[in-house]
Structure formats: structure tokens, C-alpha cells
Structure 1
Amino acid sequence: MSIVSILMVLGLSAIASGFPDGAPVDACVKPRPNQPYHGQARPQPLSTSPYQLIASSDRYQPGSQITGEFSFSTFFAYLLPDFDEDIYIYILTVFSFVFSVRIQGGDFKGFFVQARDAQTNQWIGSWAQTPNTNVHSECSAVTHADPRDKQQATLVWNAPLNARPGTVYFT
């Protein structure tokens, strides 16, 4: 094997590593939420997803802090299970003061979750920093902080103090 071949393999390895520290902040401002610039790529239908998403409530109150645990990712979530292919799972989910989210399926490496107001589609609320997460406060988003396999993640979303009770979805 020539030195050029070795350098090419090493160079391509770095390119294919995905986002080990979490999705970049520019993931917040795609033309459509969580839609990458992948030409004709389409979301995977929920009916063929190997993961089951279960949420318990559909409303939030101003200033409420909502904690959720999940075992893959959640809501209209952008999932990066293998870093070599994108899987998109879309599900509308909203909260009350306490909610639980359980997703059954295999291990995952990454996620990107953004909170949006169900009426206006604008970013809403904020995320608390929890273990192994990075927060993008610029756009009410949270992402993974390391490339290790995960079986679950805990996220804490804070409803805005000045909002009326309402609905939120996560994309």
C-alpha cells in the first residue's frame, strides 16, 4: 500500500466520523427543521422504525421545568444512530408539568432535539445542561456531547416564564 493510499484512508476516516461532540449550531437553521442538505433524502416512515416512542402528556405551563428520560431520542428528533446514515423520526409530542418519554429500541450514538411552539413554529423555552449533553441556547436545542453508544439520555426542558400555557413540539 502506498503512502498516498494510507493518507487517503486516514483522511476519509476523519470525514466519516460524524459529529462526535454533538450537532453543530447551524443544524438549528436548516430550511426545514432537522432536514439536512442531503438532496433527495427523505425521513424514514414511523411504520418501519425499529424504535418505539411513548410520551405521557401534551401541555406545558409557564415556567415549568420538564424532565424526560428516553432510550433513543425523542419527539421530532434528529437521530444519528451509526453516524454513517441519517434516520429521522418524527412524532408530535407536547407536555404537562411532569412527563415521561420512553423509547424502546437499540443503542444510539447521537441526537439533536429542538423545542418549537406548536402554534407559531418558533423556538421556545430552554434546555438545562445535563450529563453528556450540549445545549444550543441560540435556538432552544440540545444535542449529545460524546460519540459513545447510549441506551438513554435525560433532558430537561424549561418552559418560558412569560408564556401562556400551551403546546410545544420537539424536532
Structure 2
Amino acid sequence: MATFAALIAVLGLPGSIALFGNAVPVTLQTLGVMLAGAILGARRGALAVLKLLALVAAGLPLLAGGRGGLGVFVGPSAGYLLGFVAGAFVVGLLVERQRRVTFLGVLLAALVGGVGVVYAVGIPVQAVLTGVPLAETALLSLAFVPGDLLKALACAAITAAVARAYPAAVRRGGREG
């Protein structure tokens, strides 16, 4: 879990890119969230994200552009950070339910949990915190879709490869270990 918390942190450090005036930066962190859920499973994937968020809350600069501290939990990205936890859980739950881990199965899990769930939490919270109408916030968030689709594809490819090379590494079938 600590390794995946570190991976998510590293994927956010390169910088802070805001597209089309959106207050939320573009990062690769959702790839780490998707991978945490897909490989660690629902519970451990969500716990990995919570570990990262605890370190951020303690002030470590682990988010895009070196942000950290309690202030990030009241900023425009707050909903996405909360969505990371739910997203990792849903990705993990969907992968755990698969009889056999496949590229398409993981892709669907990553799209539902790592994109859909994260957006479902992030967009409304961003709208409330920024005072921008929900429809406008959702429209601005469309800028994230192409990159998130690529991240979901990468998650599916990586997870399927890990499952083939080391099947015990990917949690499925509700098994705990």
C-alpha cells in the first residue's frame, strides 16, 4: 500500500498544468489511483490513497506542483482527492469480481471507477468550492477526458500484464491476503 501511495505521489509531482482555465491541474495521479485499485483490490487500493492523503494533510508537498497541507482539502481539487479514494475502491471491487483479469475487464473497471466515480465526486465539489455553476464546471472538466482515457488504457495494459506475469499480485475473487 505504501508503494502505491508513493506511486500516486510521484505521478503528481512533475508540475501543475491547468487546461482551459480550469482550477484543477492535470496530473497522472489518476493512473496511480486506478492501478492501486486494480492491483491491490478495493480495500487496500482505497487505503493506499488514504495513506497518501494523510501525508498530504500532514503537510508533505505530494500533490501537483508540490502542494500539501490541509488547505488542499478546501480547494478546487478537494472533490477529486476524495474521489480518488472512492475511485480506487470501485476499480478494485470491479477487478476483484472478475473471474479472470483481462485487458477489457480492467479497462471497464478503470473507466467506471477511475474516471466516472472520480468525476462524479470531483465535479460537484469543485463547482461548490469555486462558485462556478455545475454545468460550466462539468464542461471545463471535459478537458480531462482524453488524458483519463489514455490512463485507463495504460492501467488495463499494465494490470493485465502483471496478472499474466504474476497472477497472485492482482487481488480478485474477494480473496484477502
Alignment TM-score, normalising by the size of structure 2 = 0.28
Structure index of larger Rg: 1
Task: Point out the structure with the larger helix share.
Answer: 2
Task: Point out the structure with the larger strand share.
Answer: 1
Alignment TM-score, normalising by the size of structure 1 = 0.28
Structure of higher RCO (CA pairs closer than 8 Å, 6+ residues apart): 1
